[in-house]
Amino acid sequence: MGNDDHRRRKTPCGFCMAVFKWIPVLFITAVIAWSYYAYVVELCIRNSQNGIAMIFMLLFYHLFLTLFMWSYWRTIMTSVGRIPDQWRIPDEEVSRLFRADSPETQKRILNNFARDLPVTNRTMNGSVRFCEKCKIIKPDRAHHCSVCSCCVLKMDHHCPWVNNCVNFYNYKYFVLFLGYALVYCLYVAFTSLHDFVEFWKVGAYDNNGYSAQGQLNASGMGRFHILFLFFIAIMFAISLVSLFGYHIYLVLVNRTTLESFRAPIFRVGGPDKNGYNLGRYANFCEVFGDDWQYWFLPVFSSFGDGKTFPIRHMEEDTESLLGYHSDTRIELEEDFLPEPRFQDSIP
């Protein structure tokens, strides 16, 4: 995490902002806690008439909930990682960089410093990517996050719902979190559907709030807990379907959310969205590992170190690497060189 972020947190305003960032996480946690009460207490314990069915419902419910919460917790608590010191430019070189009299001079300074670093990504003018705030050469696929105030390895996006950057170290956890959240919502909706239908049956309740046919035993507010449980489960499931499906697609094509909007620029070949695409199975294994026993568990099994990534061979699709493939966009890179400080402006 950047030094600027540490300084901001020491101020009252910075502390308040840090607390404010946890509100979405607390909201999700509160919804999950309420859904636990509504499902376990109101739907299963107070309303179920079949003891065996209740046991199986609770068994699978707690299994999905555990995997869901485990993945969510790992996504939140996993650090964005630290870029090693060899990627950091010394202060004297930074001073030279900012005092350079032309962009070409700046480009030469950066390329010279990075000659022994494994970087293949470039800016539009062909220079090594440099972060002015962190004073580092950016590793491939790394970007600076203004919320985290640091450069993040293989940054996908900053997600306020987990108060963290989705990055190399927690991307697997994030995808599993979306998947298990979807399974959790669908399971809750499916198992509460019968009681939801009974709620709307005309004349199904007597004056005491009990089902005249004996179909729904919950009374008073308990019935409304079950009603809203079904509504909220369906609502979240609908929103999760598209998001989970999109990230499965990104995994299979080995692309981050940022790269889907702005193609990475390679030293050889130029901009190419498919530069890291090694094939669907290889792409999947790069995120989830090659041991199927760990694929569906929120434990780290991704390949690599987050700083270097295999690139497909140019022979596979020369036109794509040259920027002519129909799925390749040539767009401006956000990482420009520092604004040159010309000598005639220096007293």
Residues annotated as part of the active site: 159
Q: How far apart are CA 269 and CA 286, in angstroms?
A: 23
Q: Which residues pair with 166 in a beta bridge?
A: 157
* Token digits of residue 14: 């910075």
Strand 143-145 to 150-152 pairing: antiparallel
Sign of CA dihedral 9, 71, 183, 186: negative
DSSP state of 343: G
DSSP state of 214: S
Residue count (the chain): 347
DSSP state of 128: B
Contact by Cβ (8 Å): 260, 250 = yes
Sign of CA dihedral 327, 141, 108, 101: positive
Residue 78, amino acid: T
